[in-house]
Amino acid sequence: MSDVIIFDIKRFAVHDGPGIRTTIFLKGCPLRCWWCHNPESQAVEPFTVEIERKVNGRTVPAAKTYGEKMNRGALMDIILRDRHFFEESGGGVTFSGGEPMMQFDGLKDLLRECKRNGLHTTLDTSGFAGQALFGEILDDTDLFLYDLKNMDPELHMTYTGVDNSLILSNADFLLERGANVIFRIPVVPGINTSSAELDRFYGFIKKRSALIKEVHLLPYHRIAANKYSRLGMKNQLSELNEPEPVFLEKLRKRFEKAGPLVVIGG
């Protein structure tokens, strides 16, 4: 069975699917979203950076490694520790990233093993992967948390580095096969909040309203600023303000007119 490279494990998570969950964050992502809040996830392989730590009131040089290779058995041991909480809350396991589909063999093994143990499984994905791969994991994935970042292909290319045609095609592939899909829209002021883009989002949801039950609006936040500095990476949106609550509520009400339940946040 395949090993995977992770960069975090969050137990008792409540924003990555229903109930109490354990979220496994896999490294590697083919996108380079300007608003990425996990920039340490983008490279698949682990890497180490120099940092400073406080020790007895003094600042001392240190090192921090992002990423760890783990085998399926070790991860399943961690996941199954909280089986009781999953059962009591209707929770389970979420695979996030990065983009988990970049480590497909390991992801597929883990999803299958989770289902063998009777666990609810969720995949948090950008949708940017081969359609046949989604077909292979369809039966072992109870819920897809599926990102819609920009609808205009040129804007999507500008702000993520990839075209969105495959992403939109995969979205329809999953919906048409009866998959449980919650679409997540990161609300990034000035990036995907123009009238034209909001109209495109609305049109996408409205056209598929019979198949879409829920949409999440994820407000852009600035909490990753220190990560960019620590990693020596450029923060493209360092001056951008977070969206106003009033705007988010207006957007929620508008998108609900298309049919599905719309939630602000995860």
Taking only the tens place, the pLDDT of each residue in 99-127 is: 999 999 999 999 999 999 999 999 999 99
Task: Please tell me what DSSP assigns to residue 67.
Answer: -
Taking only the tens place, the pLDDT of each residue in 182-208 is: 999 999 999 999 999 999 999 999 999
pLDDT at 51: 85
Among residues 192, 133, 193, 127, the alpha carbon closest in space to that of 162 is found at 127
- DSSP-derived secondary structure for 89-136: HT-EEEEESS-GGGGHHHHHHHHHHHHHTT-EEEEEE---S-HHHHHH
CA distances from 70 to 75, 76, 87, 195 (A): 7, 10, 25, 45
Q: Which residue has the tokens 């109930």?
A: 19
Task: Report the distance separating Cα 66 and Cα 40, nearest Å.
Answer: 7
pLDDT at 144: 98
CA distances from 131 to 8, 66, 97, 99 (A): 27, 30, 19, 15
pTM of the prediction?
0.95
Taking only the tens place, the pLDDT of each residue in 141-190 is: 999 999 999 999 999 999 999 999 999 999 999 999 999 999 999 999 99
CA distances from 11 to 68, 78, 144, 223 (A): 17, 9, 19, 20
Task: Please tell me what DSSP assigns to residue 77.
Answer: H
- DSSP-derived secondary structure for 188-245: -TTTS-SHHHHHHHHHHHHHTTTT--EEEEEE---TTHHHHHHHT---TTTTPPPPPH
β-partners of residue 211 are none
Q: Which domains does the chain have, with CATH numbers?
A: 4-264 (3.20.20.70)
β-partners of residue 146 are 125, 183
Question: Per-residue confidence at 230, pLDDT binned at 50, 70, 90?
Answer: confident
pLDDT at 1: 54
Q: What is the gyration radius of the CA atoms in the chain, in angstroms?
A: 19
- Quick one: which H or E segment has residue 174? helix 165-176
- Parallel, antiparallel, or unpaired for β 261-264 and 68-70? unpaired
